[in-house]
Amino acid sequence: MMAGRASINFILICNAICSAPKVLLQQFRNSYLPRIAVTVDMIATGTNMKSVEILLFLRNINSASYFEQMKGRGVGVISSDDLQAVTPDTQHKTRLVIVDAVGVCERDKTQSKPLDRKPSVSLEQALSLVKQGVVHADVVSTLAARLARLAREVSAEQAVQIKATAGVSIERLTASLLESIDPDRNLARAIMLFQLDGSQNISDASKASVDTYLQSLKEGAEPPSSTEPTEAQRDAAEEHAMAEALKPFHDPKLRELLLLLKREQVIDEVTEDTLTQVGFDEAARAKAQKVMGEFREFCETHKDEIEALQLLYLKPHWAGLRYAQVKELAKQLNRAPFHLDPAKPQSIERLWECQRAAEPTQVKGDAKSLVDLNALVRHALHPQEPVQPLLEEINARYREWLGQQAGRGIVFTPEQREWLDMIKNHMATSLAISRDDFEDMPFAGRGGLGRVYQLFGGQLETVLEELNERLAA
């Protein structure tokens, strides 16, 4: 490969001798392709690479500050929308993966401690320790790491639930935990708690007091001239701060809510992976079957309460069902272990793949849109029915309808066929078609309601009625 060129648009080589390196890095940062950038001394301070999720080191870095700068390019926070513009199949950036091929991390050059001190401990285990009254820096740091990740994954509505239960936002809960193990803040707490600064009359170590004290030092105030806190006094100050930060998690309602919103996968950083076969192993199949079992139970339990379930349960297909009803159903499933988000139709893919893992022979094709949730529900309520995307069913019924029209001597012009195809595709994602829909894209771009009336005249209402009845039957 040549410098500055991409191999099949997938890998980019970028170094100091290639032309326009900034343009190449901008392309890597903002576009789906290329997926891999090979660089030499090009990604350090001043280079914005928030969308990067993996760093692979192929040579040692001797400078501690330079190593930190390179790692810092990958830990930037990026919104979910911006990330999906570059990597559509990723919902959130919750971690940075470092692949160390030369031992650069083994010769660590920084005194900083990782936020997640116990990566193999799950959220449930951390909350269980808090419930038992454990107050320890490892527990606090691990819980903070889990909450920081959860904060990136919850919806706005779920964030409101957390705030209503805890009294503060999930971000504030996380910040309080991190502040409780901050050495600088705990030094200030120790000075205040044990009144080591005789020139100040401070008798508490509240957050406000600590903030005020630290701000005064930043602005040039002289530090206390009295005795430095002992190690025992610092430990006592830290334990006091951690106990205060952990208090909200003593509420069982908050713990239950957090676990409901996040059934977390444990990260195993010790065991080496070995590829033995391609496909779903028994453990994955069992997990998928458990998820789909809970899905069937949900459908059975709520079939008399949710409109979409009522229609799908009473009818063999989804006649009369509307997209708004499907979105409402998805909203009810926006929790563990289903994680359906009405605002992100692609979220159906995870549940679809669970169904494929649980019953490989029953699933045909891939989910295309949120309305494919109906196929999963229909199979849950009527197990004899296969699971296939709505688009495939609509395509088959559409071809049948066109054949019947030809048998009746009705011939459509090429432009009429184009409009009929657009109507069919619209129904595959919206379940129905009405005159109002012609004011939206893609119809509006082709002349909208006025043009479709010109093409079909007085037969338009009949055509729409037949398509609504036949394709969504």
| Residue 16 pLDDT class (50, 70, 90 cuts) | low
pLDDT at 226 over 90: no
pLDDT tens, position by position, 76-113: 778 877 777 778 777 788 888 888 888 877 765 544 45
pLDDT above 90 for 276: no
CB neighbours of residue 45 within 10 Å: 11
Q: Which residues pair with 279 in a beta bridge?
A: none
Residue 176 has a pLDDT of 92
Provide the pLDDT for residue 319.
53
Which residue type occupies 347?
S
Whole-number average pLDDT of the chain: 77
Closest CA to 422 of 452, 396, 450, 466: 452
Q: What is the pLDDT of residue 197?
A: 55
In whole angstroms, give the CA distance from residue 462 to residue 408: 15
pLDDT in tens, 17-69: 566 666 777 777 777 777 787 876 555 544 567 778 888 888 777 666 667 76
Q: What is the CA radius of gyration of the chain?
A: 29
Looking at residue 211, its pLDDT comes to: 58
Q: Which of 104, 43, 49 lies closest to 69, judged by CA?
A: 43
For residue 445, the model assigns a pLDDT of 86
Q: Is the pLDDT of residue 340 over 90?
A: no
Kindly report the length of the chain.
473
Per-residue model confidence (pLDDT) at position 47: 59
Q: What are phi and psi of 195, to 5 degrees?
A: 45, 50
* Residue 98 pLDDT: 86
Residues 6+ apart with CB under 8 A from 459: none
What confidence score (pLDDT) does residue 1 get? 34
Position 59 scores a pLDDT of 78
What DSSP string describes 40-76? SS-SSTT---TT--EEEE-S----HHHHHHHHHTTS-
pLDDT band at 2 (very low <50, low <70, confident <90, very high): very low
The mean per-residue pLDDT over the stretch 235-246 comes to: 88
- φ, ψ dihedrals at 318, nearest 5°: -120, 40
314 has pLDDT over 90: no
Q: What value does the mean pLDDT take over residues 277-296? A: 79
Share of the chain above pLDDT 70, in %: 77
* CA–CA gap between residue 40 and residue 3 (Å, rounded): 11
Nearest partner of 268 among 379, 121, 49, 162, judged by Cα: 121
Long-range contact pairs involving 154-163 (C-beta distance under 8 Å, separation at least 24): 154/261, 154/262, 155/334, 155/341, 155/343, 157/334, 158/261, 158/334, 161/257, 161/261, 162/254, 162/257, 162/258, 162/261
pLDDT in tens, 250-270: 999 999 999 888 754 445 555
Q: Is 295 helix (H, G, I), strand (E, B) or coil?
A: helix
What pLDDT score was predicted for residue 114?
Answer: 53
- pLDDT at 206 (0 to 100): 54
| Whether the predicted pLDDT of 408 surpasses 50 | yes
Q: What are 156-204's pLDDT values in tens digits? A: 889 999 999 999 999 999 999 998 888 878 877 777 777 665 544 444 4
Lowest mean pLDDT among 57-66, 369-378, 406-415: 57-66
Q: Note whether 431 and 371 are within 8 A (CB).
A: yes
